[in-house]
Structure 1
C-alpha cells in the first residue's frame, strides 16, 4: 500500500462574516492559497479537493484551481460533509493515494459565509428524527452530559488565553499566508476581558436553564485552509520534507440531536482499530464550535486539556465551516514540528446531522 504524507500546510487569515473578506467570493479566497501551495509541484498535482458548505455550488474546487492558474489538467472536486468537509477532503486525498489513484493532491476547504447566496441553513435531518439548529444541539449535549455553564466558560477562557498566547508568540504566523495585505485573524484586532464577558453572557438558544452563550460559542466566519498530500516516495524523490504520515481514519454516525459528541465514537473506533489508546496520542485538535462539545468530548474520552487544542481554536480564531477541519490539520502540521517528542496526532470534527470524522497521523522524525 502507498503511504500518504503531508508536506505543506497553510491557511488564510480568518475573517468575521461581513468583515474584512465580506465581498470576497470563495474561489477568490481559495485561489491564492492554492497558488502558494502548488508552487514548484504543478506537474505532480492530480487534483484539488475542497470542502465547502454554504455555496454557491458549481464545483468550487475546480473553479478555485482555474482561478489560481493551475494547469488545466489539475481536476477538482468539492465535498460537503458540513463542518467536517475540510477534514474529509484531506481524508479522501490520503485514501486516494493509498489506493494508487494519484500521487499528489491539494486538499482542504474554503468558506465565505459573507457571500453565500442561501438565506437560511440547509436541512440536516428529517423532522421526525430531529433537526435542531447547532446552538440548540450544543445545549442538548450540555444537558445530556451534564456540562454546566461554568465548565463551558472555564474551557472557553482557557482556549482564549491559549489563542492569545499563540498570537503574541507569533505561532500563527507560520500557518497564515498574507491575503490582500492581511496576515492576522480578524478576531485578534482587540484583546478583551474575556472572563467578564463569559460571566455576563446570557443563554442564546434555550432561555430557561440554558448554558450556551455567544461567549462560549464560536462565531460565523470566512476563510480557507489546505495541505499538500503526497505519496511518500514521490515526496522524498522531490526532496520535500514529509511532516505527517497518514495512518487511518474513521467516520461515525450518531443521533442528529447530539452532533457535538460525534467525535467520541469516531476517535474510539479509530484508536481501537490501530491498537492505540488516548495516552498514545500526543496532540488532539477537535473543532471548537461550542465549549459544551469540547468539555463533553474531553471528559468522555479522558483527554487531558494539556493535549487538546494547545494553541487555542475556533472559539477565538473562528469557524469558517468548510475550512475548519483543514485548519485543524494545518495546526497539527506546525505543532508537531515544535514538539519534537510527538509521535501520534489526531484531528476530529463533529458535524451537523450527527457525523463525526477523525483522522490519525504519525509524526515523521
Structure 2
C-alpha cells in the first residue's frame, strides 16, 4: 500500500522562457512567479481541490533580495495567510525548492505546497561591495572560499570536457539535437498544456531555433582560448518561472487524479573545480536510496547548462542521447529553451510531469530530474507515476 504521507506532484506549470533583455524584459521575478502560482492554483481548483495552500517555496538566484516567494504568493492572490520560503542553490534552486516542499509534505507539516523557481536576469540588480572610497561592483558572489577553485561555469564546463574527453564535435551534435527536439515539440503542441503566457509578448519559448551544424562547427570558443564550449553549446541567460503543486498521497487519492510521487532525493557535493560533475554522484546516490537502476528510468531531465556537462553525466551513467536514447531531454532542454537559473530545476519537474503524467504513461513509470550547481554540488530527484 502506498504511504499516505508520500509527496506527490499533482499539477505543474511554467512560463514561456524568454531570452534576457527580450520577451520578458519588463517582468520581475515576482511577476513571473505570480503568473505560474496563480495558474497552478487555478488548475487545482479545476481538479476539485479545497485544501488550502500551506506554503510557497521558490528558488531564485539573482533577485533584489527579500523573500521573493512571499511577495509572489501575495501577488498571485493566495492570501495573507500563505507564507513563503526563498531558497538559493544556484542552478539547482528550483529543484531544491521542490525537494523542500516534498520534505514538508512527507513530514506531515503541510498538505499543499506550491514550489518551484523564478528568475529575471533582465531585471537583476547590479551588485557592489561597500568600500572606503565608494562602491566596488562585482559580477557574482564567490561559490567557494579561498583556496578552493572558484571557476566561472563556462570555464568549468571547458575543464570538465577536457577531463572527461568530451569532444567539440559531440558537444555541437548535442546542441543541434536539443534545438531540433524543442522545435519539434513546439510544432506538435507538446509545450502548450504546461505553459502560462505572461503578457502578450511571448507565445512560445523564445530561444529554440534551427541550428545549422556547419555554422555551429565554425563558432569560436566562448570562455577559454583553448576551450571547446561555444555560444551554441552553452545555455542562454534567460527569464522564466515554474511551479508544481505537492500534496500527500491521501489528498491525491481523494482528488482521484494522477501524479508524480517523489520517491527519493539527494544533494551531493563534488570537486568545486568541476561543478558540472555534480549530477553524477547525486544521481548515483538517489538511485541507491530508491533501489533503482538507470535501466528503470523512462524519462530523464538534465538541466542542460552546457552540452559538455550533459554528456559527461550521460557517459558516466551509461545513457546515450546521441545514439538514439530518447529518454534524455526528449523535447530538448535548457540549451534550446533557455536557462533561467533559479527556475530551470523546477522546469525539469514540469517537463517530467508532462512527459509522464500528461502523456499518459502507466502507473509505475519512473523519471529523474537533476542539475549541476556552481561551487560543486549535484541535486537529483526520482519520481514515479501514480494513478
Question: Above 0.5 in TM-score?
Answer: yes
Residue 114 of structure 1 is matched in structure 2 by: 122
Determine helix, strand or coil for the equivalent of 1:114: helix
1:236 aligns with 2:253: yes
Q: Identify the residue that residue 348 of structure 1 maps to in structure 2.
A: 370
Counterpart mapping for 1:11-30 below 5 A = 11-30=14-33
8 Å contact kept, 2:18–2:24: yes
Shift of 1:156: 1.1
Aligned pair partner of 1:34 in 32, 37, 40:
37
Query: Unmatched 5+ residue regions in structure 1?
Result: none
**Corresponding position of 2:282:** 266
Which stretch shows the higher mean deviation, 136-145 or 151-160? 151-160
Matched, 1:362 2:380: no
- Provide the C-alpha distance between the structure 2 equivalents of 1:9 and 1:63, rounded to a whole number of angstroms: 20
Separation of aligned partners in 1, 2:370 and 2:211: 29
Distance 1:240 1:123, change over 3 A: farther
Q: Does 1:101 align with 2:105?
A: no
Would you say the 8 A contact 1:165–1:311 is kept in 2?
yes
> Structure 1 residue 43: deviation in Å?
5.0
TM-superposition CA deviations, 1:21-48 (whole Å, max 9, x none) = 1121111111121111123257521000
Q: Deviations over 1:182-219 (max 9, x none)?
A: 3311114xx334313311110011112x1000011101
Tell me which of 260, 269, 282 is aligned to 2:298: 282
Aligned residues: 361
Matches of 2:302 and 2:210 in 1, distance apart? 24
In the alignment, what sits opposite 2:135?
A: none
C-alpha deviation, 1:116, in angstroms: 0.6
Match in the other structure for 1:333: 353
Aligned-partner SS, 2:368: strand
Matched residue of 1:252: which SS? strand
In the superposition, relative to structure 1, how do residues 241 and 138 fare at CA in structure 2: closer, same or farther (>3 Å)? same
User: 144-153 vs 301-310, which deviates more?
Assistant: 301-310
Preserved CA contact (<8 Å) 1:187 1:317: yes
Give the structure-2-normalised TM-score: 0.90
Does residue 78 of structure 1 match 2:86?
Answer: yes
Q: Per-residue CA shift, 1:239-289, capped at 9, x if unaligned?
A: 251320110101110111111110000111111122211101111100000
Cα displacement (A) at 1:111? 0.0
**Other-structure match for 2:132:** none
* SS at 2:244 equivalent: strand
The one of 157, 164, 189 equivalent to 1:170 is 189
Contact 2:60–2:118 (Cα < 8 Å) also in 1: yes
Q: CA deviation at 1:132?
A: 0.3
Give the structure 1 partner of residue 231 of structure 2. 214
Q: SS at the partner of 2:196?
A: coil
* Corresponding residue number in structure 1 for 2:335: 315
